[in-house]
Amino acid sequence: MAHSDVLVFLLSLAVLLGVARLLGELAQRAGWPSVAGEIFAGVIVGKTLLGRFAPGAFSWLFPEGSPATMLNGYKTIAVVLLLVVAGLEIDLTIVRRSGKALVYTSVFSAAIPFALGWMTGLALPDSYLVDPSQRTFHTAFLAIALAISALPVITRTLLDLGLMKSDIGMLVLSAAVVNDIIGWICFSVLVRQMDPHNAGGGLLRSMGLTVGFLVVTLVVLRPVVDRWLRAMEPSPGEAAPTTRVLTMVTVLALMGAAATEALGIHAVFGGFVVGLAVGDSPRLREHTRHVLQEFVTSIFTPVFFATMALRYDFARSFDPVLVLIVVSIATVAKVAGSALGARLGGVGKREALAIGFGMNSRGAMEILLAVIALEAKIINERMFVALVVMAVVTSLISGPAMARLLRATPSPVQKLLRAGAIQLDLAATTRRDAISELTAALCTKLGRTGESSRFCDAVMAREDTAGTGVGDGVAFPHADADGLTEPILAFGRSKTGLDFDSPDGEPAKLIFLLITPRGDYQRSLHLLAGMARLLARQEVREKLLVARDSQGVVAALSDAKAAGQTPIPGSERSPTSRA
Amino acid sequence: MAHSDVLVFLLSLAVLLGVARLLGELAQRAGWPSVAGEIFAGVIVGKTLLGRFAPGAFSWLFPEGSPATMLNGYKTIAVVLLLVVAGLEIDLTIVRRSGKALVYTSVFSAAIPFALGWMTGLALPDSYLVDPSQRTFHTAFLAIALAISALPVITRTLLDLGLMKSDIGMLVLSAAVVNDIIGWICFSVLVRQMDPHNAGGGLLRSMGLTVGFLVVTLVVLRPVVDRWLRAMEPSPGEAAPTTRVLTMVTVLALMGAAATEALGIHAVFGGFVVGLAVGDSPRLREHTRHVLQEFVTSIFTPVFFATMALRYDFARSFDPVLVLIVVSIATVAKVAGSALGARLGGVGKREALAIGFGMNSRGAMEILLAVIALEAKIINERMFVALVVMAVVTSLISGPAMARLLRATPSPVQKLLRAGAIQLDLAATTRRDAISELTAALCTKLGRTGESSRFCDAVMAREDTAGTGVGDGVAFPHADADGLTEPILAFGRSKTGLDFDSPDGEPAKLIFLLITPRGDYQRSLHLLAGMARLLARQEVREKLLVARDSQGVVAALSDAKAAGQTPIPGSERSPTSRA
């Protein structure tokens, strides 16, 4: 390997990564998905701009030969790891707890765009195709491309709107998971069918191999991974086995990718399925997932998306008519299909439309599909650009549309609780200890260490005058205190229940500890009354009792009526609870 | 890029990474450095074993051509990132606070092995050389290879022995930093001199370029990076900019590596110097450093070390005589040189020898030098194997030898404090708040949340009978409590000092809070008396007042006499405090 090859490889990688991340950050600040900026980096340093205005610099920095091969190797690892992260993000359990609404929504949100995509493909003039004799592949691809949804974009939108663990959020998420998995299966089958080197043809064989790989990985590998992760769990006092788990995930992903590649399916499918299998284990630590995600986002993904646009001249390939057709058909089909499905599943009109716009975002996954299709010569550059624009536009309108339709704004209690502390398993066995535990957690979270005992004493003084249990297993210990400008709130859940001197004599399991600024009686009263109203509803209490994490607690406290919003049917007749 | 190339690349990477990490872990469990296992992975799946017993499988898995080029690209990134992590670990400030002992130790610990290495190089018969006409290069390399020290191994050894922030630990560390930097400069000059493509020859020119790159990076880039990191600091409530910083470090490292490569120096030097420059900024978060280190250790470093042995047959290259010569000369020269320097710097005999063994470990850095030298054809395979064995052996004996010489065992107070809580900046302004803050921190650390107020009350009850301030700014609040099997200890430092009713009327700045199992008066008394004896020494109090982190606090409490150990001169006449 010559010195200059290494030099060019290092430099080209630095340029791609640096420019892509910079533009990705700028895009994000402007409210766009970062992948848009990362792709644009390839337009700038690639054939489109650098190649046109400084062709010498372009061909020096991105020559064919060894540096290109090394860059390709890096890109391969990048895309496999990107798909592992995507797979890790999927929580299969939410799909298992399915219901009528999920079945209808996922079927219609995929089937209608698929059908419309197929029709579009059939109707497109020959000039839009790479090879008119291969029209079937092109048509099938277009149908799949319109049918998928972008899980990462949806996740971020739901988080932003505070809808993550709400019924509507769960429905959108689980339908998107189903779409995603089916979409990748279809796409993998298509890639295998397209492959001219593919010895064993036949649609059934391709489907068998793809679904077979999925099933084998999920049925055989998943429990094995779970057992390995359990074996790696540290004894108390030992360091977390993060590096071991990271290596295991990477090795499995590489092997999965190699296996799918060997089967004639694309390597990305292997990475994705391994991510699914590993992510399903409850023993995968949040820290490990986080380190992997941070690292892949920092140094791998941007390079992958930037290299995409490197060798194509995209200025020439922008076809406004095609872009308009693709964007509008994709949006209409997805919004209408998902909304129809949700309506049939019993969701209200407005909420069904919101679900439609949520499902409509295509994001990075669409772009990834398009890249692979472009490289496999299924689509041409014009269609590629149209799909990229479609992915960006649908992702951009998704959040604002949902917010507008749902008029979703977090209630004051949700806001306070998100800033405050949530203890799902109180260790305390007495009222005093519970209060001390909650004030300590609150002070730690707010960086007010040292004030815990002061708050604890104030709240206890109030308890001593009269217990704050209100019955139904709920208590609202509270006090006012100096040195606060805003109220602070903590929630604690006790398995056994604690005596808070309730009128009904029941021990309190749901404890809200509120401390308000000294003298702000008005607000204190208002907040306590609001919480009392909310907690008077049985379904709110039930959700709080079973919430598995802080997000679940916050979501349970959404005050639909207060936000001037029609009630979401799902929140009364939960579609996910009819397992 | 053909499908099968991608397949082979993915599979070979998975095999290398998987086997290397597995053997690395096994090596570590057996008390060996993990790099030994990682290298051995290359022996197993490489030419030595797989190549001999299943040559077909070997050449299928590791063919020449595209897969090899991709693997090379990955390896290049791996080694650049490995050196960045090595650079990040170096704390230049400890070198700046230098003293006589450091100057003597670093000079002699490098000069004597260098001289002996040089003599060995001159004395070696021609048959040991790659090219007898290039004997000067070989000799110079051997001199450098014997002179370096392995910072990561030294760091881990010092941490294990609880000596990290002790005077002796600081001396070993700072001398190793100086050796490391000078070693890399010399090696880079050597690589540049060796390069046949190198247009501008001349030793002075090579030295000028190498030192020039170092100085420019440290003087120009360092403050710029610091400013960027400041600009990236999140506003309160914003997420930490980990991914942005990770990208920045990676891009800078790639550019540094490309720059050194362009100058004819090896790319690793660029990575190392960028690591130095970035790591020096106090704004680099521990989390970022940690994520980078975890990820590089998990998926990059093992591949690098495993590929080393891939294409050589090491079974044939093991030359016992040469191994014996290299190991013994390296050890004698390094131990004697370092000990001599430390003695001249005023360190006691036993401690000087311990420093010698500390400096003697060569670890992964030596192996890295040897790989590069082997690839550059400076040394042959026999010498390579000898150097690898030397690196492993010197690293293995370093820890046990130091422990034996220093009879360093942590004092009971150190052990308790390491398990307990350390609050360097108490927020509290009253005795009660301080006690509450310390019990809260202790309970959080020990996972006993909910018991904090109980402990706090018990300690306050004791304070109410009589304050526990003992004078000189020290207080020992304590109590016994039910439900404990071992004593628990927290340390808090208050900037302003707090009233603990001391006999001398001084506010207490150093507060040790001890809670012992109910009724265990004997042990309670013993511990309190031991702490009182320790804190009666002014230098212990001073160290506690200036300690910058928990390790500094623990190190300050080393009870040299109690451990049956002669006093370390450095701890009375601190060599690092004579700036």
Instruction: Specify whether B418 is located in the same domain as B301.
Output: no
Please choose, from the candidates A378, A282, A280, A366, the residue with its C-alpha nearest in 3D space to the C-alpha of residue A331: A366
Asked if the model's pLDDT at residue B257 lies above 90, the reply is yes
Asked casually if ipTM beats, i.e. exceeds, 0.85, the reply is no
Residues of B in contact with A243 (CB under 8 A): 294, 297-298
Name the band, by pLDDT with cuts 50, 70 and 90, for residue A573: very low
The residue from B384, B406, B428 where one domain ends is: B406
Quick check: is A457 in a domain?
yes
- CATH code of the domain covering residue A539: 3.40.930.10
pLDDT in tens, A3-20: 588 899 999 999 999 999
Instruction: Specify whether B39 is located in the same domain as B159.
Output: yes
Q: How many CB atoms lie within 10 A of CB A235?
A: 5
Beta bridge partners of B421: B490
Quick check: is A355 in a domain?
yes
Quick check: is A506 in a domain?
yes
Tokens of B527: 């511990």
pLDDT number for residue A197: 66
The size of chain B, in residues, is 579
pTM of the full structure: 0.72
Quick check: is A301 in a domain?
yes
Quick check: is A4 in a domain?
no
Asked if the model's pLDDT at residue B162 lies above 80, the reply is no
Containing A100, the helix (H) or strand (E) segment is helix A100-123
B538 three-class SS:
helix
The residue from A406, A436, A459 where one domain ends is: A406
Instruction: Specify whether B194 is located in the same domain as B337.
Output: yes
Instruction: Specify whether B195 is located in the same domain as B87.
Output: yes
pLDDT number for residue B573: 33
- Best to test chain B binding among A298, A418, A437 (most B CBs inside 10 Å): A298
Asked if the model's pLDDT at residue B141 lies above 60, the reply is yes
Torsion on CA atoms B554, B557, B561, B567, rounded to nearest 10: 80
pLDDT in tens, A80-124: 998 898 888 777 777 766 678 888 999 999 999 999 999 999 999
- Ordered DSSP codes for B68-117: HHHHHHHHHHHHHHHHHHHHHT--HHHHHS--HHHHHHHHHHHHHHHHHH
> For residues A302 and A21, is the Cβ–Cβ distance under 8 A?
yes
- Ordered DSSP codes for B443-459: HHHTT-TT-HHHHHHHH
Instruction: Specify whether A397 is located in the same domain as A426.
Output: no
- CATH code of the domain covering residue B266: 1.20.1530.20
The residue behind tokens 């792709």 is A39
- Are the Cβ atoms of B3 and A197 closer than 8 angstroms? yes
- Pairing relationship of beta strands A469-471 and A474-475 according to DSSP bridges: antiparallel
A262 burial (CB, 10 Å; 0-12 / 13-18 / 19+) is middle
The size of chain A, in residues, is 579
Please choose, from the candidates A339, A393, A378, A448, the residue with its C-alpha nearest in 3D space to the C-alpha of residue A143: A378
Nearest-by-Cβ selection for A73 from B9, B255, B426: B9
Residues of A in contact with B455 (CB under 8 A): none
The predicted model gives A181-209 an average pLDDT of: 78
Instruction: Specify whether A307 is located in the same domain as A449.
Output: no
* Distance in angstroms (rounded) separating the CA atoms of residues B41 and B47: 11
Distance from CA of A66 to the nearest CA of B (A): 7
Nearest-by-Cβ selection for A10 from B66, B242, B267: B267
pLDDT in tens, A420-432: 888 888 888 889 8
Instruction: Specify whether B150 is located in the same domain as B288.
Output: yes
Q: What is the DSSP letter of A387?
A: H
- Are the Cβ atoms of B246 and A451 closer than 8 angstroms? no
Alpha carbon distance, N-terminus to C-terminus of chain A:
59
Quick check: is B5 in a domain?
no
pLDDT in tens, A273-283: 999 899 888 88
pLDDT number for residue B377: 86
- Are the Cβ atoms of A72 and B1 closer than 8 angstroms? yes
The predicted model gives B336-348 an average pLDDT of: 91
pLDDT number for residue B567: 37
Instruction: Specify whether B380 is located in the same domain as B453.
Output: no
Name the band, by pLDDT with cuts 50, 70 and 90, for residue A559: low
Q: Is B526 tagged catalytic?
A: no
* Distance in angstroms (rounded) separating the CA atoms of residues B318 and B340: 33
Distance from CA of A58 to the nearest CA of B (A): 17
Distance from CA of B45 to the nearest CA of A (A): 16
Quick check: is B576 in a domain?
no
Q: What are phi and psi of A515, to 5 degrees?
A: -125, 125
Quick check: is A90 in a domain?
yes
> For residues A261 and A267, is the Cβ–Cβ distance under 8 A?
yes
pLDDT number for residue B501: 87
B503 three-class SS:
coil
* Distance in angstroms (rounded) separating the CA atoms of residues A374 and A393: 20
Please choose, from the candidates B511, B515, B489, the residue with its C-alpha nearest in 3D space to the C-alpha of residue B500: B511
Q: What are phi and psi of A490, to 5 degrees?
A: -130, 150
* Distance in angstroms (rounded) separating the CA atoms of residues A57 and A70: 19
Q: How many CB atoms lie within 10 A of CB B485?
A: 6
Beta bridge partners of A488: A515
Tokens of A560: 């639909």
- Are the Cβ atoms of A10 and B243 closer than 8 angstroms? no
- Are the Cβ atoms of A433 and B451 closer than 8 angstroms? yes
- Are the Cβ atoms of B251 and A1 closer than 8 angstroms? no
For residue B285, how many C-alpha atoms fall within 13 Å in the half-sphere facing its CB?
Answer: 16
Quote the domain boundaries for residue B253. Answer: 11-406
Residues of A in contact with B450 (CB under 8 A): 426-429, 433-434, 436-437
Nearest-by-Cβ selection for B70 from A14, A69, A433: A69
Instruction: Specify whether A298 is located in the same domain as A378.
Output: yes
* Distance in angstroms (rounded) separating the CA atoms of residues B303 and B39: 9
Name the band, by pLDDT with cuts 50, 70 and 90, for residue B339: very high
Instruction: Specify whether A402 is located in the same domain as A423.
Output: no
pLDDT number for residue A164: 66
- Best to test chain A binding among B1, B295, B448 (most A CBs inside 10 Å): B295
Asked if the model's pLDDT at residue A482 lies above 90, the reply is no
Instruction: Specify whether A491 is located in the same domain as A362.
Output: no
pLDDT number for residue A571: 36
Containing A5, the helix (H) or strand (E) segment is helix A3-29
Report, as residue numbers or ranges, the catalytic residues of A. Answer: 478
Instruction: Specify whether A509 is located in the same domain as A440.
Output: yes
Name the band, by pLDDT with cuts 50, 70 and 90, for residue B234: low
Name the band, by pLDDT with cuts 50, 70 and 90, for residue A508: very high
Distance from CA of A279 to the nearest CA of B (A): 18
Please choose, from the candidates A179, A501, A498, the residue with its C-alpha nearest in 3D space to the C-alpha of residue A334: A179
- Are the Cβ atoms of B302 and A257 closer than 8 angstroms? no
pLDDT in tens, B354-377: 999 989 988 888 888 898 888 888
Asked if the model's pLDDT at residue B536 lies above 80, the reply is yes
Please choose, from the candidates B404, B405, B361, B369, the residue with its C-alpha nearest in 3D space to the C-alpha of residue B176: B361
Please choose, from the candidates A462, A441, A461, the residue with its C-alpha nearest in 3D space to the C-alpha of residue A452: A441
- Are the Cβ atoms of B13 and A262 closer than 8 angstroms? no
pLDDT number for residue B523: 78
pLDDT in tens, B262-284: 888 888 889 989 998 998 888 88
* Distance in angstroms (rounded) separating the CA atoms of residues A69 and A74: 9
pLDDT number for residue B578: 31
Q: Which of B197, B266, B287, B478 is catalytic?
A: B478
- Pairing relationship of beta strands B478-481 and B469-471 according to DSSP bridges: unpaired
Q: How many domains does chain B have?
A: 2
Rounded to 5°, the CA angle B195-B198-B204 comes to 95
Asked if the model's pLDDT at residue A126 lies above 80, the reply is yes
The residue behind tokens 């640096």 is A18
Mean pLDDT of chain A: 84
Distance from CA of B182 to the nearest CA of A (A): 24
pLDDT in tens, B18-68: 999 999 989 888 877 788 888 889 999 998 899 999 999 999 999 988 999
pLDDT number for residue A234: 64
pLDDT number for residue A484: 86
The residue from B354, B375, B406 where one domain ends is: B406
pLDDT number for residue B569: 38
Please choose, from the candidates B354, B422, B408, B421, the residue with its C-alpha nearest in 3D space to the C-alpha of residue B160: B408
pLDDT in tens, A293-344: 888 888 998 999 898 878 888 788 899 999 999 999 999 999 999 999 999 9
Name the band, by pLDDT with cuts 50, 70 and 90, for residue B331: very high
Mean pLDDT of chain B: 84
pLDDT number for residue A121: 92
* Distance in angstroms (rounded) separating the CA atoms of residues A543 and A535: 11
* Distance in angstroms (rounded) separating the CA atoms of residues B389 and B187: 20
